[in-house]
């Protein structure tokens, strides 16, 4: 059974989320603060996380960073904040999706199913290279899809789940240009209208991490002005 961690300090909302998860065949684990959530993660292998932003003590942004260090499971922010800066910040810290409160349980379940389906599809890919254990090589870049690891010049690059998914997708389609809307739909698996900032944030963070590993700008991820992004391969 798929295990979903709910981090929510409002009892009524937590109960609603628990009921919908159980009714949809998931196993919910509920925590009311960050300390309790991390304790559950130490004891249970969690498959997805629904994370409130406004929590007592440590807020959801800080907690998201700690969670992402422990797992590549999808993280969905449930937030009453609608400011673009807050949404972009959450996605930049490693969250995969967000849903704005108040929301219907059916909508939350749709977001959850989409994230789980994308995660499963991208983690089960294992036929991209004859040397499956070593993964895919593009020059100094080594992508290992089974382990969801990326190495550049032999140094591991610590990527979030969506950063890995974006890089892997672009590498699998070399020299093909994808708009921000297309990438959002491919990686996040739902309607991309109004979400271009999400892709931009993840691409920028991906470039920064590859630059840090390489010691210089990693130029294969190109911006095609007015069109989108591509992975350049000679």
The reply to whether 28 and 113 lie within a common domain is: yes
Helical H segments across the chain, by residue range: 11-23, 34-43, 60-70, 84-92, 105-123, 161-172, 180-188, 196-214
Position 166 in a domain: yes
Q: Cα separation of 132 and 13, whole Å?
A: 44
The reply to whether 111 and 8 lie within a common domain is: yes
Position 221 in a domain: yes
Domain CATH number, residue 202: 1.10.10.10
Determine the pLDDT at residue 134: 58
Number of folded domains that form the chain: 2
Position 226 in a domain: yes
- State pTM to two decimals: 0.60
| Residues sharing a CB contact under 8 Å with residue 232, sequence separation 6 or more, in sequence order | 174, 175, 219, 220, 221, 222
Position 124 in a domain: no
Q: Cα separation of 231 and 234, whole Å?
A: 10
Q: Cα separation of 232 and 173, whole Å?
A: 9
Residue 215 backbone dihedrals phi, psi, to 5 degrees: 85, 5
- Residue 101, SS3? coil
Tell me how crowded residue 224 is: count the other CB atoms within 10 A of its CB.
12
What is the residue-averaged pLDDT of the chain?
A: 84
The reply to whether 9 and 114 lie within a common domain is: yes
Domain CATH number, residue 46: 3.40.50.2300
Q: What is the pLDDT of residues 125-160, one digit of tens each?
A: 433 443 444 578 888 888 888 788 899 888 889 888
Which domain, by its residues, includes 63?
A: 3-119
- Strand pairing class (141-144; 136-138): antiparallel
Provide, rounded to the nearest whole percent, the portion of the chain with pLDDT above 70.
86
Position 128 in a domain: no
Position 80 in a domain: yes
Domain-terminating residue out of 119, 154, 186 = 119
């Amino acid at each position: 059974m798929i295990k979903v961690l709910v981090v929510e300090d409002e009892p009524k909302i937590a109960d609603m989320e628990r009921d919908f998860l159980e009714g949809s065949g998931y196993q919910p684990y509920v925590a009311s603060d960050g300390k309790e959530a991390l304790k559950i993660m130490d004891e249970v292998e969690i498959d997805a996380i629904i994370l409130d932003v406004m929590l007592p003590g440590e807020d959801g942004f800080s907690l998201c960073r700690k969670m992402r260090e422990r797992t590549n499971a999808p993280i969905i922010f449930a937030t009453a904040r609608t400011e673009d800066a807050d949404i972009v910040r959450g996605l930049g810290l490693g969250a995969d999706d967000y849903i704005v409160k108040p929301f219907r349980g059916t909508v939350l379940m749709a977001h959850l199913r989409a994230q789980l389906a994308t995660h499963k599809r991208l983690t089960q890919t294992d036929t991209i290279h004859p040397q499956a254990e070593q993964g895919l090589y593009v020059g100094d870049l080594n992508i290992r899809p089974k382990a969801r690891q990326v190495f550049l010049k032999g140094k591991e690059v610590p990527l979030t789940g969506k950063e890995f998914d974006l890089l892997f997708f672009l590498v699998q389609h070399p020299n093909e240009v994808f708009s921000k809307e297309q990438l959002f739909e491919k990686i996040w698996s739902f309607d991309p209208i109004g979400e271009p900032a999400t892709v931009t944030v993840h691409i920028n963070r991906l470039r920064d991490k590859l630059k840090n590993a390489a010691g210089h700008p990693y130029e294969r991820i190109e911006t095609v002005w007015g069109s989108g992004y591509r992975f350049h391969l000679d």
